[in-house]
């Protein structure tokens, strides 16, 4: 029976995993390779790894780390962070990643999406849209790990990404990030209705009920960070993932 993909998002800062709140206030979580091994055992659908400092530091996510992840991971995974051209994307895919996640370069040089898509297929290109709602209820997107605002609505950005060859949109709410109080459903609805490619919703999930709400509002896949690394009201660090039979029952 059909159910949406459920995807843990793992943030890299240096050689370690961290979790953020509203793209700030990062907390150390643990070792990325150990986390991959645990998600192997838990049979996660996919993984997304994002280096949150790469674009700001003018470098890419570590090739060596991506290769280590590729050697360990039983599931498909995507990587993002400072990927700026076809050469960078090729290095990550050759290291084992199935997909590359593009954020800053999507705004600075959109044609790169087309280059990568034509070379590896659009299924290998995920455009990451980080969005935030202002006091007037209007959404704008941000690049460079949420530091630079762009005067572009996420609906328009998503459609542009699709037109240039992206195979998926990774849609993240900055305001909801790490809060575990639910996704920005209006944002998901607006963006999902503007494109014909899958939308991966991220930012705010604290339980499966939140995920089901996002699914009902148009998301094709459901991503989360805190939900898969924290446990209990005190947020003890514990890598976790729902059982397949639980997911099938919940979404059908």
What's phi and psi for 38, nearest 5 deg?
Answer: -65, -45
Helices 244-251 and 208-216, interaxial angle, to 10°? 40
Lookup result for tokens 């899958």: 198
CA 102 to chain centre: 10
What's phi and psi for 169, nearest 5 deg?
Answer: -110, 125
Active site residue 130: yes
| Cβ contact 104:55 at 8 Å | yes
Give the C-alpha separation, 88 to 228, whole Å.
29
Catalytic residue among 45, 130, 145, 184: 130
Catalytic residues: 130
């Amino acid at each position: 029976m059909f159910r949406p993909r459920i995807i843990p998002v793992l943030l890299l800062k240096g050689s370690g995993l961290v979790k953020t709140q509203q793209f700030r206030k990062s907390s150390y979580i643990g070792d990325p390779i150990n986390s991959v091994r645990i998600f192997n055992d838990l049979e996660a659908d996919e993984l997304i790894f994002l280096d949150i400092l790469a674009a700001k530091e003018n470098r890419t996510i570590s090739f060596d780390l991506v290769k280590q992840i590729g050697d360990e991971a039983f599931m498909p995974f995507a990587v993002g962070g400072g990927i700026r051209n076809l050469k960078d994307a090729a290095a990550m895919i050759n290291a084992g990643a199935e997909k590359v996640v593009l954020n800053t370069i999507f705004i600075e040089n959109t044609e790169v999406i087309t280059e990568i898509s034509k070379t590896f297929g659009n299924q290998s290109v995920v455009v990451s849209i980080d969005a935030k709602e202002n006091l007037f209820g209007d959404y704008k997107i941000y690049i460079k790990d949420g530091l630079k605002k762009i005067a572009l609505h996420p609906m328009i950005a998503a459609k542009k990404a699709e037109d240039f060859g992206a195979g998926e949109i990774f849609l993240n709410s900055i305001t909801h990030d790490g809060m575990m109080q639910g996704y920005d459903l209006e944002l998901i609805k607006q963006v999902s209705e503007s494109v014909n490619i899958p939308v991966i919703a991220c930012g705010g999930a604290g339980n499966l009920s939140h995920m089901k709400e996002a699914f009902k509002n148009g998301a094709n896949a459901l991503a989360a960070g805190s939900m898969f690394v924290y446990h209990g009201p005190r947020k003890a660090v514990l890598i976790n993932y729902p059982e397949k039979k639980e997911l099938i029952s919940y979404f059908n």
